[in-house]
Structure 1
Amino acid sequence: MPSILMDVDTGIDDALALVYLLSRPEVQVRAITCTAGNVGARQVALNNLALLELCGRQGIEVAIGAEVPLEIPLVTTEETHGPQGMGYAELPPPAQQVSPRHAVDVWVEEARARPGELTGLITGPLTNFALALRREPGLPRLLKGLVIMGGSFNYQGNTTPTAEWNVSVDPHAAKEVFAAYRGLPEDKLPLVCALETTERIELRPEHLRRLGEAAGAGPELVLPGQPDGQLSASGNPLVAALSDAVRFYLEFHRHHGQGYVAHMHDAFAACAAVERTPFATRLATVDVETDSPLLVGTTVADFRGLWGLPPNARIVSGNDPGHCFDELISSVGALARGLGGQ
C-alpha cells in the first residue's frame, strides 16, 4: 500500500493531484504539509482541508510550514490560480482544524517513525523540505522515495525564460534539496517531473466532459465559447468544484496565448508517485542558479557527467498523456460517483 506524504501549495493542479490520490483506495495519504507558493500557506491549508471534506476524507493531518522562502521575498500567483488558489471554485469553510505540528516536524517525525515506508510528493516550492533536511540530514535515506514537480531542463521556463514556477519561488531551497541527494544510491534519488514532460499533460474540455460522465453526472461542458467565469451546473459537488477550478486555469492559459488547455503538472506527478502511469527517466546531476539576476531559478542538468559529480536526480524524460488522463478521469470519476449529489 503506497503511503504518501504530500507537500503542496494548492493551487488548481495541486488540488487535482490531491483528489486523485484520495480516489485511490490502495493509497494512504499520511499527511499534507503546506507551503506558500501559488497562494499563502494558510490559504493553502484551508484549501486542503476543504478538499478533504469535499472528498469525505476528514481526519488526514494538514500542517502549515514555511510562509516565506528561505532568502527571498514571497511571490504568489493568484492571477494563475484565482484569489484563493482554487480558480472560480468556492469551497465551504472546513470544520477540521489545522494541525498543531509544524510541517517540518511532520516530515522529520513521520520519516523517523516509518523508515523506508513513506514516499514524499512535493508539488510546490521546496522550502519545507529544505528546512526538514537541515533538521534531519538523513531524510533522503529515511524516505522510501521522493517525487518533485519542478524545474525545466533544456526547455522554456514558465516564470522566466529559463525558470519553472516552483523552483523560482524558492531557488535556494531547491539548491539545498538537490545538493542533499548527491552521491546517494540510484533508487533513493528524487524523481523530478519537470516542465518538458508536465506541460504535455494538457487538460482539455473533452477531459472535463469525460469526468462528468465517469462520475455519473452527465457530460461536464466547459467550452471556449462560453463566458469567462461561467459556473458549473453539475449536481455532483466534486465535479462542480473541479470544473469551476479548471475553467479558471483554462482561461489563464488562453489569455497567455497557449490555447484553451490547462497544464496539469502536479496531477502527473501524483500518478507517477504511485506508479499508475508509465514514464521514462534519465539520470542527471542537477544544480540551481541562485545568484544571476538573469538566470535565477534556472535548473541545470548535467546528463553527460561533465561536472564530474555523481547523479542526484532521475529526471522524467518521457510520459504518456493519454494514459495519464485515462487514469485521472476513471479514478477521480469513481470517487465523485461514490459521493453522488450529497
Structure 2
Amino acid sequence: MGGVTAADAVIPVFADVDTGVDDAMALAYLFASADARVVGIASTAGNVPVDQVCANNLGLLELCGTSEIPVSKGSQRPLAIPLRTAEDTHGPEGIGYAQLPVGGGTLTDYDAAQAWVRAAREYPGELVGLAVGPLTNLALALRLEPALPRLLRRLVIMGGAFGYRGNTTPVAEWNVNVDPEAAAEVFSVWGAAWGLEPPAHLPIVLGLNLTENAVMTPSTLSRLAAAANSSTTPMSVLDDRGTRSAAANPLIRVLEDAMRFYFEFHFDQGEGYIAHLHDPLAAAVALDPDLVRYRQATVDVELTGTLTRGMTVPDWTGHWGRHLNARVGIDVDPGVFFERFIARVGPFAATLA
C-alpha cells in the first residue's frame, strides 16, 4: 500500500494559446486529463486577433464546465512587426464552423505576461508551461521575470521546423513566423538562464517535423465520438462544404465542426482530407515527455534573411560555441498519442452530455 508518488501528482499547467482549432483540442485534452490542472490560460494573438482568442477561450471553458480557470489577454501584436492571422486555416472566428457558447467568465485584470509570472511564482518548481502559439507573451514575461526558466518544472513549445519544410514560408513554421523576434528572444534568454545545467531543464521544442506525424482523420474522429457514447455521422470528403456535425454530445459537436473546416483546408492544400494535431500533441507531451524522443541543440531564429526570415536553425554539434537551449522532438508514435487522446477526451466529453 503506497501513497501518492511525485509521478502520480496532479501537474499544474499554464497554457499560452492562440485558439485556433488545434489549440481548442489541446485545451480539451488538458481539461480531460486527471493528471493535469490548468491554472491559467494566456491568450495570444496569432491564428486570430487576441480579442477573438479571449472569446474562444472563455467560450470553451463555459462549454467544458471549467469557467473558474483564469484567462488573461496578451499583446495585440507581435514585438516588432504587424500581426498576421490565419482565418483561412482556422475559420473567421478561429474555430472553423463551430459555435461556442458565450463565456460567462471575465478576463483577469492583469495581462498574459504577468499571468505567466504569477503562475510560476505560485507553483515554483512545479509549473509546466505550454506555449502553442506565437511566443510574444512568453518573451514579455521573461522581460518581467528573467528567473522564469528556473521557476518552471518544464516548458513545452510547439513551433519551428527542424530539417523540414515550413508551413508559412518554404522554411518557416506559423507560430515562429508570426513573431520571430519573440521566438529568438525566448531561445536566447533560456540558453543564458540555464547555461550548462542538466538537459532536463531545457525547453522541449516540437516542430513540424514531429507534429505533422499526428494526423487526424475522419475515422479517428468517429472513434472519439464513440468513446464519448455520442451518436454522429462520419465525415467524408464527399460531404457538402460546411456540413454541420450531427453529434449528440456538445463537445464532440464543437470539435467535429471545428475539424471539418481544418480538414477542408488541408484538402485544398493538397494534403488529403486530414488535419495535423500540432497543439494536442504538445499538450500530451507537456504531461508526459516520454511520448517523444529528443535531440539536444542550440536553436536560434533567422531574423534578417531575405528568403529565410523566421526559420528555426538548430546547431546540433556546437559550431556556435553557445549553451544548449532546446530538446528538439525528433520521433513520436502517433498511434500511442491518439489512443491516449481518445481515452481521455472521449469519456470527458461524455460527462458534458
TM-score range, shorter chain: over 0.9
Moved more, 269-278 or 311-320: 269-278
Per the alignment, residue 127 of structure 2 pairs with 118
1:223 corresponds to 2:236: yes
- 267, 274, 281: which one pairs with 1:268? 281
- Letter aligned with residue 135 of structure 2: L
Per the alignment, residue 284 of structure 1 pairs with 297
Per the alignment, residue 328 of structure 1 pairs with 341
Query: Per-residue deviation at 1:287?
Result: 0.3
Deviations 1:198-240 (A, max 9, x none): 0010100111110110000135411111111000011110000
Per the alignment, residue 20 of structure 2 pairs with 11
Query: Per-residue deviation at 1:46?
Result: 0.8
Trace 1:43-54 onto structure 2 (pairs within 5 A): 43-54=52-63
Query: Normalization by structure 2: what TM-score?
Result: 0.95
When residues 324 and 220 of structure 1 are mapped into structure 2, their CA distance, relative to the original with a 3 A threshold, is farther
Deviations 1:5-30 (A, max 9, x none): 01000000000000000001221101
1:312 corresponds to 2:325: yes
1:98 corresponds to 2:111: no
Q: Secondary structure at the match of 1:281?
A: strand
1:27 corresponds to 2:70: no
8 Å contact from structure 1 (residues 40, 67) kept in 2: yes
Query: Per-residue deviation at 1:276?
Result: 7.3
Per the alignment, residue 7 of structure 2 pairs with none
8 Å contact from structure 1 (residues 208, 220) kept in 2: no
Query: Per-residue deviation at 1:113?
Result: 2.5
Deviations 1:228-286 (A, max 9, x none): 10000111100000000000000000001011110010000000000076210000000
In 2, Cα distance between equivalents of 1:212 and 1:154? 36
In 1, Cα distance between equivalents of 2:331 and 2:35? 25
Unmatched segments (≥5 aa) in structure 2: 1-9
- 176, 199, 219: which one pairs with 1:206? 219
Per the alignment, residue 85 of structure 1 pairs with 94
Trace 1:100-179 onto structure 2 (pairs within 5 A): 100-179=109-188
In 2, Cα distance between equivalents of 1:269 and 1:226? 30
Moved more, 164-173 or 44-53: 44-53
| Matched pairs, number | 340
Query: Per-residue deviation at 1:330?
Result: 1.4
Identity of aligned residues (%): 49
Q: Secondary structure at the match of 2:191?
A: coil
Per the alignment, residue 257 of structure 2 pairs with 244
1:193 corresponds to 2:206: yes
Query: Per-residue deviation at 1:293?
Result: 2.5
In 1, Cα distance between equivalents of 2:93 and 2:326? 33
4+ long deviations beyond 3 Å: none
RMSD of aligned Cα (Å): 1.0
In 1, Cα distance between equivalents of 2:233 and 2:327? 37
In 2, Cα distance between equivalents of 1:62 and 1:220? 34
Unmatched segments (≥5 aa) in structure 1: none
In 2, Cα distance between equivalents of 1:41 and 1:117? 28
Per the alignment, residue 6 of structure 2 pairs with none
Q: Secondary structure at the match of 1:182?
A: helix
Query: Per-residue deviation at 1:167?
Result: 0.1
Query: Per-residue deviation at 1:114?
Result: 2.0
Query: Normalization by structure 1: what TM-score?
Result: 0.98
8 Å contact from structure 1 (residues 204, 262) kept in 2: yes
- Letter aligned with residue 51 of structure 1: L
- Letter aligned with residue 101 of structure 2: P
8 Å contact from structure 1 (residues 253, 260) kept in 2: yes
